[in-house]
Amino acid sequence: MNATSWVRRDLLGIADLSAAEIELILDTAESFREVSERPIKKVPTLRGRTVLNLFFEASTRTRSSFEIAEKRLSADSVNFSASTSGLKKGESLIDTALNLQAMSPDLIVIRHAHPGVPHMLAERVEAGVINAGDGAHEHPTQALLDAFTIRQHKGGFEGLKVSIIGDIEHSRVVRSNILLLTKMGAEVTVAGPRTMMPVDVESLGVRAVYSLEEALRGTDVVMMLRVQLERQAKMNFPSVREYFELFGLTRARLKAAKRDVILMHPGPMNRGVEIASDVAEGKYSVILEQVANGVAVRMAVLYLLSGVHQEVG
Amino acid sequence: MRLLIRGGHLIDPGQELDERLDVLIVDGRVERVGKDLKPGRHGEVLDADGLIVAPGLIDIHVHLREPGQEYKESIETGTRSAAAGGFTAVACMPNTTPPNDNRSVTEHIVKEAARHGYARVYPIGAISVGQKGEQLAEIGDMVGGGVVAISDDGFPVMSPELMRRALLYAQHFDIPVIQHAEDLGLGADGVMHEGEWSTRLGLPGLPGAAEDLMVARDLRLLEETGGRYHVAHLSTARSLEMVREAKSRGLAVTCEVTPHHLLLTDREVFESGFSTHTKMKPPLRSEADREALLGGLEDGTVDAIASDHAPHHVDEKDVEFSSAPFGIVGLETTLGLCLDRLVRPGRISPYRLVELLSTGPARALGVPGGRLAPGDPADVTLFDTKRQQTVNPTRFQSKGRNTPFAGWKLRGRPVATLVDGRRVELR
């Protein structure tokens, strides 16, 4: 597959993508990576295009990453933030969408606390829609940047052992990563407390284990997940101290993994909760590379979805 | 006034009739049932050749939204919807604004229903004042006003003490206690069935166990108290099994299931792309649950099919999945769906369907109907098992358009609806 055969206008989830489309996004990101290393980090690719960043949920990393990607492609980007609480009623969401559509944006990047909102938006607006995270459902660009990072280090996915550890139930990153990695032929293991494991998780084509040691044994890639401290009040775990005892990643525990293991985290990290500081900053960590790669991957997604590659002249 | 329904195939489980028979109606009551009847002087004839003639269908679980939420539905539009769907009677739930927890509201419903006259309306009174689950409502007074059962539908009776008292007190009036069986202490923030699809979609789950716990508790209480207990919109395999077992021990328990739980599963939330028309309580369950419910139709455990007709305004449903209200309409789709998806493939016989939609519901609530014997009110539904229809919500008589069945092509539909011998359907 090459860019000319890309016809998709929205990126709502990894669920919709074929392996060939995923490869194309990663290959395209490869060519954009170099832009961020130039002294003048800008190409005219999306000049005259308008991108709306619509964040109904707080985000620093993802929003900045999209914004930088847009600016490096010379798109005009507009940010729109609203706390979900202020716009709880769906009428407002539909009306917001229609109002935004009236301003003729080319692409809308949306994050929302509720699953399915990007899908709903995509049905109503002409603009292409990029899901920047919808509740615990999907976060496709995160999975793509994770895949990009894994491919850089491991060369490919076939037979690769990837272990994702933490709050599996409430994580959109996990769902998108499971979909992507299994499509690409990796073997995915998920691990965490049973109280934060969604029901029937194995129907997604993964192995579920309930001890950190078992998850780490012989693995090529370790992906740690943020544990939200408010989960404690919802009976998901008794205390931070005990969580770290059972599922916190330490240097000693990481020894069970393969010698060339890479350690990932989608951020933001809770040091001392799911991961010890020395491991997060240690030699296996590729956490900051993930962030850097995020910009290139989002540039690739914006470029492909904008349709500019298909325009003549 | 004489009317002869001639040439139809009469299915009347109330009299165990299932053959080609004419029905003669005089002054709103059944005069005779037999072969080759004559209309008599000045008698009209309704040609029922090729049609099924059945005692009027009864939907024992609908929300008419009046008083207070007439923007969703009214007694007038709700009963028109019933008539259009082949239903001659409905039982309406008390979760209106204000709720039907006192006689004046009950009387308003009865009066409005009589004024419009499209279908009989049997009000269901609240169990507790304000449906708050604290204090018994004036049940006796409401029964005097026309209430046929009590329920806090929409608000499960969480307190075992209140349920115990309700089961005891309702016996004074020989009415059933209807429970929306859901333990709110489990998966309270859920929006769809907890299972593979909630996991895939990242939506909080409503576990089947929440229903099972409540049914188990209530059946245990019923053993102590006696009385009649009815499980509304039963949706899980385990709850059905418990009802089956309780019936075998002779407990006075009945249950209803909805067409949507018989025909759709939780996968539909995914297939429809988060359509809020797949959001209801109880949620669409797993394939194993659905299959078990079908088994319950076949073996007689299920007493009634009820639609849980729950109209909502378009704007209320046109929101994010998580924020949308629960519920779909059903009065105008139930019969067609059952004929096309249950009878046509041979899962149940036409006779069993009439049992589930007429005789069974009448018995479960203890209301008249479900039979066309001489002297009975002439509430009759005529339907065609072959005529095609396509579900088109914009043509519903109901104000509600919220259905997951839009566009479904169904073989089988109601043709005429008679209440007291008078045609009430609008076509």
pLDDT of res. B64: 98
Q: Do residues B398 and B309 make contact, with C-beta atoms less than 8 angstroms apart? A: yes
> Which of B166, B132, B131 has the alpha carbon at shortest distance from B149?
B166
Which of the 8 DSSP states describes residue B359? I
Q: Do residues A184 and A162 make contact, with C-beta atoms less than 8 angstroms apart? A: no
Question: How many DSSP H helices and E strands does chain B contain?
Answer: 14, 20
For B259-309, the pLDDT digits (tens) are 999 999 999 999 999 999 999 999 999 999 999 999 999 999 999 999 999
For A207-248, the pLDDT digits (tens) are 999 999 999 999 999 999 999 887 777 889 999 999 999 999
Distance of alpha carbon B114 from alpha carbon B360, whole angstroms = 24
Distance of alpha carbon B125 from alpha carbon B216, whole angstroms = 24
ipTM > 0.90? yes
pTM for the model: 0.94
For B404-413, the pLDDT digits (tens) are 999 999 999 9
pLDDT of res. A94: 82
Kindly identify which residue of chain A lies nearest to residue B187, measuring between CA atoms: A234
Residue with tokens 């004074």: B172
> Is pLDDT at B68 greater than 90 in this prediction?
yes
Q: How many CB atoms lie within 10 A of CB A202?
A: 13
> Is pLDDT at A85 greater than 60 in this prediction?
no
Nearest neighbour of A116 by CB, restricted to B198, B274, B318: B274
Distance of alpha carbon B63 from alpha carbon B258, whole angstroms = 14
Q: How many CB atoms lie within 10 A of CB B150?
A: 28
Choose between A60 and B252: higher pLDDT.
B252
pLDDT of res. A2: 85
> Is pLDDT at A270 greater than 60 in this prediction?
yes
Average pLDDT estimate for B7-33: 98
Using pLDDT thresholds of 50, 70 and 90, give the confidence band for residue A96: confident
**Least confident piece of the model among A89-93, A159-163, B92-96, B172-176:** A89-93
**DSSP-H helix ranges across A79-229:** 90-102, 117-124, 140-154, 172-183, 212-216
> Is pLDDT at A81 greater than 90 in this prediction?
no
Average pLDDT estimate for A41-56: 95
Nearest neighbour of B323 by CB, restricted to A88, A199, A200: A88
What angle, rounded to 10 degrees, do the helices at B103-116 and B75-84 form? Answer: 50
According to DSSP, the residues that pair with A66 across neighbouring strands are none
Nearest-CA distance B64 → chain A (Å): 24
Average pLDDT estimate for B189-213: 98
Radius of gyration, CA atoms only, chain A: 19
> Is pLDDT at A199 greater than 90 in this prediction?
yes
Contacts of A135 in chain B (CB under 8 A): 202-203, 322
Nearest-CA distance B288 → chain A (Å): 14
pLDDT of res. A312: 54
Q: Do residues B263 and B337 make contact, with C-beta atoms less than 8 angstroms apart? A: yes
According to DSSP, the residues that pair with A81 across neighbouring strands are A55
Give Cβ neighbours of residue A124 (< 8 Å, ≥ 6 apart). Answer: A94, A97, A98, A101
Distance of alpha carbon B124 from alpha carbon A129, whole angstroms = 47
pLDDT of res. B351: 98
Beta strands in B16-86 (DSSP E): 17-20, 22-26, 29-34, 44-47, 52-55, 57-62
Q: Do residues B301 and B352 make contact, with C-beta atoms less than 8 angstroms apart? A: no
For B314-335, the pLDDT digits (tens) are 999 999 999 999 999 999 999 9
Contacts of B318 in chain A (CB under 8 A): 90-91, 94
Q: How many residues does chain A have?
A: 313
Average pLDDT estimate for A125-136: 96
Contacts of B198 in chain A (CB under 8 A): 198-199
Q: How many residues does chain B have?
A: 427
Using pLDDT thresholds of 50, 70 and 90, give the confidence band for residue A83: low
A120 touches chain B (CB under 8 A): yes
> Is pLDDT at A178 greater than 80 in this prediction?
yes
pLDDT of res. A313: 47
Nearest-CA distance B72 → chain A (Å): 17
> Which of B361, B312, B354, B327 has the alpha carbon at shortest distance from B149?
B361
For B145-164, the pLDDT digits (tens) are 999 999 999 999 999 999 99
> Is pLDDT at A88 greater than 60 in this prediction?
no
> Is pLDDT at A296 greater than 90 in this prediction?
yes
Q: What 3-state DSSP class applies to B310?
A: coil
The percent of residues above 70 in pLDDT, for chain B, comes to 100
| Chain B residues with a Cβ under 8 Å from any Cβ in chain A | 194-196, 198-203, 205, 207, 273-274, 315, 318-324
